[in-house]
Amino acid sequence: MSTMQRNLIVLGVVVILLAAAVYFIYPPGSSTKLGLDLQGGLAVILQAKDTAQAPRTDEGMTQAMNIINQRINGIGVTEPEVQRQGQWKISVQLPGIADPQEALDLIGKTAVLEFYDTNQFGTPYAGEAEALKAAKVDSKDKLPKGTRLIYWPAKEGSGATDRWFLVTTEPKLTGSALSGADVGFDTNNQPKVDMQFKGDGGAKFAELTGQMAQTAQLMGQDQLLAIVLDGTVQSAPRVQDRIEGGRAEITGKFSMEQAKALALVLKTGALPLNLEVIQQRTIGATLGKASLNQALIAGLIGFILILVFMAAYYRLLGLVADVSLLVFGVLFWGLLNAIGVTLTLPGIAGAVLTLGIAADANIIIFARVREEVRAGKSMRAGIDTGFRRALHTIVDANATTLITAGALFWAATGAVRGFAVTLAVGVVLSMFTAVVVTRALLNLMADRGWLRGVSTPAPAPVVKERRGTA
């Protein structure tokens, strides 16, 4: 196989790669994944609180992250990012979220579902402070293990008052017995949440309601089954008969959105930890779009300046480098889309930086080729020798950049990781385009005789001091 045929095959492979890149790029408006800072959204850092009721554990943190992921997926957020920060913090980024507050309420909701016979409640208190004082603590987080503070809000128009209870007995049933939850409508066409129990959960629920119905018949008093979510009584229906079938419902003054959110958190399960928001940042979609436009304009200006400089300084060789840089740009964009990189402002900065690195590799190659041609070699021989000698310098220089990118990816989180990824991908791809694409183009042009008489810029003159004699 001749050298020309080999170069044509290399360029044919490059054309195929370009076609694949265009496939992943098109349509450009929707194929590229944008991060929180470019399309707006919600960024939250949650911290686990260590309480007697829910002590912090590594296993609990892992479970909490999985549950948060399930809840986010349930509301249809695209490309969410849930990461653990340090030992007891969780970072959540939701790009493109329409209602940040609704998402925040959904993420942090503990969703501990409990079923109580109201006979377990005991003495009512008129306020939370009064109940905590009776428990001899100043915060509900300091309640002893096994003691729960339950709030029972009064119904509007009933004339009753809100009540708080200190419950020291275990609930009759918990949300762990559920197999699912869905939104339905009650007889007044108001949204409600229908719950389905697992096989053993349904049996326990039937046994519980059967005992309460029997007690109601014996005592002649209504028996109420309190459905408690996160320490608040949602409803307390009367139990008159044994309820078979493993189904129950939560009714109340829910909007459709509230009912859907409640059904979702019940399906995904309760968080094993108490999480509190310690940092919250909301970026509007308009601000994100403005940042994206500014970043793209800056990148485009930088790219054009590089192309102009290479063509003006290196002339025909510079035009070859420009073709290589254009190939680099298309392959780079397509590769980022193909591997699913979420583009952020730091990521765009890394991409622009790699344009300079790609141009720098061509400059090193041309400098070596120029030296060989000025030493008396033919253009064809100068290209071969110049590439061979430039390769070691290019690899060594880019290896240090890759080490830096690797350290950033390992030690950092979030957007800084995005910078490291785009930098590393760009560096590797710049070596490919400089060493493979540029070389194939120059070799093909040299074989065709298109580089005869091509001049290269002369090195800067060296001014030597002339010493005179006295």
Q: Which two tokens stand for residue 153?
A: 């809000």
Q: What does the alpha-carbon distance between residue 437 and residue 416 come to, in Å, rounded to a whole number?
A: 30
Name the token pair of 173. Answer: 């049933």
pTM of the complete model beyond 0.75: no
For residue 27, whether the previous peptide bond is cis, meaning omega lies within 30 degrees of 0, is yes
Rounded to an integer, what is the distance from CA 299 to the centroid of its chain? 24
What residue spans define the domains of the chain? Answer: 3-35+284-447, 41-282
The greatest distance separating any two alpha carbons of the chain, rounded to the nearest whole angstrom, comes to 131
Quick one: fold of 41-282?
Gyrase A; domain 2 (3.30.1360)
What are 397-423's pLDDT values in tens digits? Answer: 889 989 999 998 888 766 788 888 889
Strands 342-343 and 33-34, bridge-based pairing? parallel
pLDDT tens across the length of the chain (470 residues): 677 888 888 889 999 999 999 999 888 767 787 777 777 788 888 888 877 667 788 888 887 888 888 778 777 666 678 888 888 888 888 877 767 777 777 777 777 788 898 888 888 998 989 999 988 888 887 888 888 899 988 877 667 788 999 988 888 888 878 888 888 888 788 888 888 888 788 888 889 889 998 998 888 888 888 888 888 888 888 888 888 888 877 776 778 887 887 787 777 776 777 788 888 887 776 666 787 788 888 888 988 998 999 888 888 888 888 999 999 999 999 998 888 887 888 888 888 888 888 888 888 888 888 888 888 887 778 888 888 888 888 888 889 989 999 998 888 766 788 888 889 999 999 989 988 888 888 888 887 777 665 555 555 454 555 554 44
What DSSP assignment string belongs to 24-69?
Answer: HHSSHHHHSEE-HHHH-EEEEEEEEE--SSS---HHHHHHHHHHHH
> Which pairs count as long-range contacts for 254-257, CB under 8 Å and 24+ apart, including other chains?
254/190, 254/191, 254/192, 254/193, 255/191, 256/183, 256/191, 257/102
Distances 371 to 315, 360, 431 between C-alpha atoms, Å: 17, 17, 21
Q: How far apart are CA 343 and CA 34, in angstroms?
A: 5
**Letter for the amino acid at 185?**
F
Structure tokens at 335: 């590769």
pLDDT one-digit tens code per residue, 97-131:
767 777 777 777 777 788 898 888 888 998 989 99
The fold of 3-35+284-447 is: Multidrug efflux transporter AcrB transmembrane fold (1.20.1640)
